[in-house]
Chains A and B, each alone.
Chain A
Amino acid sequence: MKPEVILHSFSYLTRAAATTVAVSFAGIIFGFAIGALVCAARVSRRPWLRRAGAVYISVFRGVPLLVQLLFIYYFLAEYGLDVPAIVAAVGALALSSAAYQAEILRGALNAVPHGQGEAATALGFSGLDIWRRVLLPQALRISTPPLISEFILLLKASSLVSVVGIAELTRVSMNIASETYRPLEAYLAGGLFYLAINLCLAALGALAERRLGTPSAR
């Protein structure tokens, strides 16, 4: 066991870690945007929209991420323009995460006590205002801890984009392993970096849980 390997590649790994975080962050943000749309479809009054939302969630939760990633990659290769692999990577992460985020948001909306919307209606609020001032703020607050959990999951899932060549932590660990012929140290290093990032995120999640709590506990 030669720990010097890890030390020599430290800056290399740090840059890769930044890439991992960046890719995951982009994935979660786009995933939120798409997920919000899918969630809106799921709770819509139109049956076909609800169906469409349910199918989206079923597909993107049922198909393994690796398959989704390769599918998008080959899809872009076959029909799309010459886009960098990063597009396929972030796209796959976003589309996949959207399915889970849609369910988180839907759960959060359901968790807002019905009475609050009813009180607002009785007071004469317009539908849009009820959304903006009563339901949405609370739903967002409730959904923050599970969304942070989702970010942690996405960060781990991002290791799969190594297969399309993105220079994130896993790919770089593989490179270090083949360059130094010390796979054990290389992958341990990669693992430690992931752990470090996850511990920070977990702390953030715990902080969010404490600060945001449950709305009825006011």
Chain B
Amino acid sequence: MSVSLFWHYAPSLISGFAVTILCWAVGGALGLALGFAIALIRRLKLAPLNWPIRIFIEIFRGTPFLVQLFLLYSGGPSIGLKLSATAAGVLGLALYSSAYFAEIFRAGFAAVPAGQIEAAVSVGMAPLDTMMRVMLPGALIAAVPAIVNMLIILSKETVVLSIITVPELMYQVQTMAAETFTAFDAIFGMAVFYWLLVEAVSRLGARIEARVTAYLAQQGAPA
């Protein structure tokens, strides 16, 4: 593939990359918020909500992401949900990741040693304060590695969006490949690009994890 040809497609590739980042960031942020909300609601143990939440999580963790996307994009109009490809893509990423984040936060809450809660109770702290000052910080810190991991997985799932014609990077690469008959080179370039990107993000993620859990390095004592 010639350099001038690549230059010609540079703008569309850059725009594709921008769309990828946008979908990942917005989808991830929504997924985190929704997953966190679900985890909090679950802790309230409201009987009527238990089953709908469990079903939600089972559906979005038990079916392929691609099927979920098709359902939203192609099946949506049948129930009055007319979404653009990008909107469907972002919504899909959000719902998909929220099910995983809900479980991650649940594990985070469970990881807070009971003793820390007992200390708060024994000193007369109100339940709201105990949650906000002891439980939540502990749970969030415990959840950081899993959250970082899931965000990386989500970044790889964005390429699936190309199948429902979201104009992200993969889609642009395939368009370019089709128009210039350079499928092999284009896909190879894409693979290398993603490999380097994921490798870089993984290392960044590891650094962030280390910083956040630094002072937990040697935990005082088990509960």
Contact = CB atoms under 8 A, between A and B. Distances in A.
A117 interface: no
A186 to B, nearest CB: 8
Contact of A191 (B59, B183, B191): B59
Contacts of B198: 61-63
A92 to B, nearest CB: 12
A64 B159 contact: yes
B184 A194 contact: no
A111 interface: no
A63 to B, nearest CB: 5
A160 B66 contact: yes
Interface string B69-101: 011001110110000000000000000000000
Given A74-B184, A191-B71, A159 B66 contact: yes
A71 B70 contact: no
Given A156-B65, A170-B67, A67 B58 contact: no
B163 interface: yes
A78 B67 contact: no
B75 A184 contact: yes
A67 B159 contact: yes
Contacts of B191: 63, 67-68, 71
Given A64-B194, A156-B63, A160-B160, A187 B70 contact: yes
A162 interface: yes
B70 to A, nearest CB: 5
Given A74-B184, A187-B75, A66 B160 contact: yes
A195 B74 contact: no
Contacts of B124: none
A71 B173 CA distance: 12
A22 interface: no
A163 interface: yes
Given A74-B184, A194-B62, A195-B63, A64 B75 contact: no
- Which of A62, A77, A186, A198 has most B Cβ within 10 Å? A62
Interface string A181-197: 01110111011001100
A173 B62 contact: no
Instruction: Bin the interface of chain B by size.
Output: 35 or more
B187 interface: yes
B118 interface: no
A67 B187 contact: yes
B70 A183 contact: yes
Contacts, number: 110
A59 interface: yes
A40 interface: no
A157 B156 CA distance: 12
A129 B162 CA distance: 51
Contacts of B74: 177, 183-184, 187
A160 B159 CA distance: 11
Nearest to A162: B66
B190 A67 contact: yes
A78 B182 CA distance: 11
Nearest to B74: A183
A208 interface: no
A195 B62 contact: yes
Interface string A25-57: 000000000000000000000000000000000
A158 B65 CA distance: 11
A122 to B, nearest CB: 32
A75 interface: yes
A1 interface: yes
A163 B188 CA distance: 18
23 contacts: A58-B199, A62-B195, A62-B196, A62-B202, A64-B156, A66-B162, A66-B163, A66-B170, A67-B159, A67-B194, A156-B65, A159-B65, A159-B66, A162-B66, A170-B66, A183-B74, A184-B78, A187-B71, A191-B59, A191-B68, A194-B63, A194-B64, A195-B62
List 3 A-B pairs, minimum CB-CB distance, nearest first: A159-B64, A184-B75, A62-B198
